[in-house]
Amino acid sequence: MKKFLQGPGVFVLLIAVALLVLLPAWSSLQGNHDELTYKELLTKVENDEIKTLSVTDYIAVGLYNDTKIPDTAFPKNYDFRVELVNNTQVLHDDLKAIASKKTGLPPGEISTNDYGFTFISDIPTPTAWWVAYLPILFSMLLLVGLWFVFMRSQQGGANRVMSFGKSKARIQTASQHKVTFEMVAGADEEKDGLKFRNYLHLF
């Protein structure tokens, strides 16, 4: 494992984590739906482009008439999303005004059944916005941890590289290897060899 983290394998690990965690989290944030303004929503209602609309206090999600999303997958999956600038009562008033023009009925007599699409209210409140960023935050912390381990391993390798070329051999001086007659006392062959070496040094 240590050799793996010291080699190029750590880069493969970092890329794998980024692909497995960051990309799915990012795609979930982007989503495959339209972000409409409140005015655009009312325009699509007037043009009879809306099939279903689900509303909370300040968020509305819905399906178009030509949607490819099955009803059973709604409202988890949806075609468009709208952030309501006002509360749902203002939305009802605007929808009733549109329905009144189409049906000729007074706004006070308009109900949700006259909107021209399926209207659903009081669906569960969406999860807080910061919860969607938790996977990205977790992946960033994981990448920082892996990078820290990688840098520690590289620092250890750098120390070994810097020590490369440093010889452990000791410097020996001529005096440390000097052999005298006293050191070979009693050894005739060594004495003869020493005399021969001293004789050669004369030339």
Contacts of residue 157, defined as CB under 8 A and 6 or more positions apart, other chains included, come to 6
3-state class (DSSP) for residue 168: coil
- Pick out the chain residues at pLDDT < 70: 1-31, 122-129, 132, 156-203
Q: What are the residues facing 121 on neighbouring strands? A: 55
Give me the residue label for tokens 């001293």.
198
pLDDT digits (tens, 9 = 90+) for 51-73: 999 998 788 999 999 999 999 99
Q: How far is the C-alpha of 93 from the C-alpha of 64, rounded, in Å?
A: 21
pLDDT at 29: 46
pLDDT at 94: 95
What the block records as the tokens of 26 is: 């990012």
Q: What are the residues facing 61 on neighbouring strands? A: 54, 81
Q: How far is the C-alpha of 68 from the C-alpha of 60, rounded, in Å?
A: 19
Q: What architecture is domain 32-126?
A: 2-Layer Sandwich (3.30)
Give me the residue label for tokens 């080699």.
7
Residues in the chain, overall count = 203
Q: What are the extents of the domains in the chain?
A: 2-27+133-156, 32-126
pTM of the model: 0.48
Angle at which helices 88-103 and 38-46 cross, to 10°: 20
Q: How far is the C-alpha of 10 from the C-alpha of 21, rounded, in Å?
A: 16
